[in-house]
Amino acid sequence: MSFSFGSQKNDPIFGTYGEFTVGSVGNRVQAQFILTKMKPGVEGSWENLLASQMVPWREVFKIEELTFDELLQRDLDDSRVAHELIPYLLGEREASARFFPPILAVLVPKNPQQAGIQPYYPVPTQSSDVVTSFGELFDFEKVKFNEQVTPLGSIKYNRQKTSFVIVDGQHRAMAVLALHRQINSSWGADRYASFYNHLSLSPEQIKNIELPVCILFFPELHEGNIAYVQKGVDLKKVCREIFLVVNKTAKKVSQSRELLLDDEDFAARMMRTTLSKLKGRGEDESSVARIYSFAFGDSDSDLGKQVVAGQLEYTSAVVLHKMHAAAAFGVPDAFNFDQPAEITDGRRTKNSERPTQILIGTPLERWNSLSRFSGKYHPPDDVALAVQLLSEISNLPLLKLFDRFRPFAIHNSVMRELRTRLSDPDARADLVQSKCYSLLFEGSGVRYVFEEHRKTLKDRHDELLEEGKSPGDYIVNQLKDANAVITALDKYEELIKAQRACKFFSIDYDKFFSIEGNEEQRRELLVRAKPIFDTISTQAFQLGYLMAVHSVVEAILSPGTRYEERLQLIDFVSELFINALNTYFSSNEDIEHRTLTGFIKEPRVGFFDQNQLGLRRLLSLSVRELNERQWTFFRYAILELVHCKYAYQSVVNTLENSVSSLADKYRGYLPELIDKVLNLREQYVAAAIRSALNSSSFELELKTLRARLQGEGKLEAEIEDIVKEKTSAKEGEIRAECKKNLSASLGEVADADTIVNRLVTTSQVAQSDTVSDGE
């Protein structure tokens, strides 16, 4: 006789059943559900057993192993659960009714080898109008009464092989699960248990708490249904679809989370490929970008802002999405230098013809058009290929930027050094240091939840003191620990900013910060570095860089260019730009200074600072606030820097050492490109002059002048001449100021012939020398 305890399906669930369909036309899947309940407690009832089997998404999957196409739930806010929802359930908030609406969970097969779930149920061993049996996994049966099928049903499941994964209502569910786990002491090694350790419960307190649960399963999604297997429709994808459908009218998630879950928008899918590339990176190179520098959580900190000033993340899912949309679906005018189309509001990044032009020469060139929002309406294999090909035209230049552009590379390196330090076993054993590691390197959502937790503790602490009550040891100690973490975290952030500033300006950090009495110099170091690292983290700069690459590529390419040729040119232009920008933002010296000397004192360092002479200040003469719409300025500025006195030799070197056909195309386009750049330069100068002449202060000055001249008895014609002379003088003053700003950043105000000749002539001479040497 043999026993197979793992195949027991003895745990029941009872309730009422129903069904519906989910998915788009052609991919519809039947869903069946049973509306039941679960209870926290120690009685061992079937409702208690269901509470033991119910799990949030984070406990089924190892988040670090998921791709961004597999992410589902928003970050679970344990602080909110512990301090708002559980007190409500326990009657501590004087609520007249302690009840939650139903949560939604999916019955899934566990993955026996690792974390996660299996994509399909096993082939049904029995299937009829009344009973469906999925082998050793679970059975569903409709209850009969007097031989008549009733609305009642039951599920018998194998607790070793199934899980009930919450896809909606995870905070409500976690409140009940926390009560159940706390009273049963069944947290195990759960890292979030500390949020609930203060709960002291008795069976009497929770005996009347129940949570309605709607349990879903999908009888068609089994291993024997080849049609769905071939379409790539599996349990993970259906769970995503359910979550999105249910939450369309629920409390709005952050834009980042919305994009992580959007399968219709090709740009959202492309953004997820970028994040997944970053997430899957190994530990080989210290200076490459990593996922912890990208914001993609549920905090609203990255919504509608150009940069989260002072924070350590330098871009976000929202920004990446905009850039992918612009590059792959932008209207033709977006790539023009003269009067470019505005692409930041989303209205002009829905061009269905551009992706088909990009995909020429690929298996997808059969498409006549591609709507950006048709991700669910093509065969899965075609969608996957389109996402791969279209995302690469942005990923290629963007990853060069985030990996190799000197300010980013320095930031990456400093962050990696700190991560290695905090990964040391001794540091991980210290609760404060371990929490700092989590807040710095495990995603912006972790930081958001922690800060909300600390705020809740502080508010509750202050509230109790105002009422003349003692906050209690739990709140006092938790708040003390949280404040200790914030203090340590602030020190680490200050360290990161100081170290990256020293590396950028070629200053020896240890020796510089060991000098006593140089506090003023330390402040100056950080002040000079801040606008650099803040500005490169803006949507305006990053989109400006990407569009600089693609605008040049579009101008060089001829209609009908094949995909591979386009990609080669994108790679070439990106390489040329990054090399030149790194030359511009590097010291000409190979030594590290102990004081603020060398590169930090050069005028070009003020390029990003509107309070210093430079191109950024040139913009501020006509534009008060830097926002995403100023991407056109940074596109112009990057093209100025790449070809200027400080960086042109790098361009020459890249042209010499690249594939000749690509270099020749760039040389051939240079005269036209430089004419366009200088035309844009003049437009910014003209805008500065208009802004000055139309300013209220200058208008008041002219008005005062007119009144004085009239009082002196001057004739109107004389007055007009004097006013014109005053206006002309003001224009000359502003033009001279613009020239100073240009000279500070570019080293000179060169004309088109000077710029083109030194690029083309130097390159051609070098080529001639190379040929002569070969002969």
Cα–Cα dist 616/623, whole Å: 10
Q: What SS3 class is residue 344?
A: coil
- DSSP structure string for 614-680: SHHHHHHTT-SS--GGGHHHHHHHHHHHHTSTTTHHHHHHHHHTS-HHHHHHHHHHHHHHHHHHHHH
pLDDT for residue 193: 86
> Does residue 221 contact residue 228 with C-beta atoms inside 8 Å?
yes
Give the whole-angstrom CA distance, residue 658 versus residue 579: 13
CB under 8 Å to 391, separation ≥6 — which residues?
269, 270, 273, 274, 324, 328
Are 437 and 428 within 8 A, CB to CB?
A: yes
Query: Residue 311 has what pLDDT?
Result: 64
Contact (Cβ atoms closer than 8 angstroms) between residue 152 and residue 15: yes
Using alpha carbons, list the distances in angstroms from residue 297 to 260, 265, 436, 531, 600: 10, 19, 17, 25, 36
pLDDT at res. 127: 86
pLDDT of residue 73: 54
Paired tokens of 356: 């088909």
CA distance 346 to 321: 10
By three-state DSSP, how is residue 220 classified?
coil
**How do the residues of the chain divide into helix, strand and coil, expressed in percent and rounded to 5?**
55, 10, 35
For residue 139, the surrounding DSSP H or E stretch is strand 138-145
Q: What is the pLDDT of residue 7?
A: 52
The rounded average pLDDT for each run of 10 residues, N- to C-terminus, in the chain (775 residues) is: 49 92 81 95 91 86 59 70 88 70 92 83 90 93 89 92 90 93 89 84 90 95 91 86 69 68 89 88 80 70 41 87 96 94 91 97 96 91 96 97 96 95 90 90 77 87 90 88 93 96 96 93 95 95 97 96 98 98 91 92 94 95 91 97 96 95 96 97 96 95 93 92 95 97 96 94 53 40
Cα 614 to its chain centre, rounded Å, is 30
CB 9 within 8 A of CB 150: no
Q: Give the chain's end-to-end CA distance (angstroms, integer).
A: 88
What distance in Å separates the CA atoms of residue 79 and residue 90, rounded to the nearest whole number? 16
Query: What's the pLDDT at 307?
Result: 39
Count CB-CB contacts under 10 A for residue 479: 18
Q: Where are the domains of the chain?
A: 5-251, 418-524, 602-775
What burial class does residue 77 get, using C-beta atoms within 10 Å of its C-beta: 0-12 exposed, 13-18 middle, 19+ buried? buried
**Crossing angle between the packed helical segments 539-556 and 631-642, to the nearest 10 degrees:** 60
Neighbours of 671 (CB within 10 A): 16
Element (H, E) at 154: strand 148-157
By CB atoms closer than 10 A (0-12, 13-18, 19+), residue 493 is middle
Measured at the CA of 229, the angle between CA 224 and CA 233, to 5 degrees, comes to 125
**Counting every residue, how long is the chain?**
775
Residue 74 sits at the vertex; the CA angle it makes with 209 and 345, to the nearest 5 degrees, is: 140
Q: How far apart are CA 689 and CA 700, in angstroms?
A: 16
As a whole number of angstroms, the distance between CA 489 and CA 483 comes to: 10
Among 155, 169, 180, 165, CA closest to 34: 155
Beta-bridged to residue 157, according to DSSP, are: 11, 138
Q: How far apart are CA 442 and CA 294, in angstroms?
A: 11
Beta-carbon contacts of residue 581 (< 8 Å; ≥ 6 apart)? 405, 406, 638, 641, 642, 647
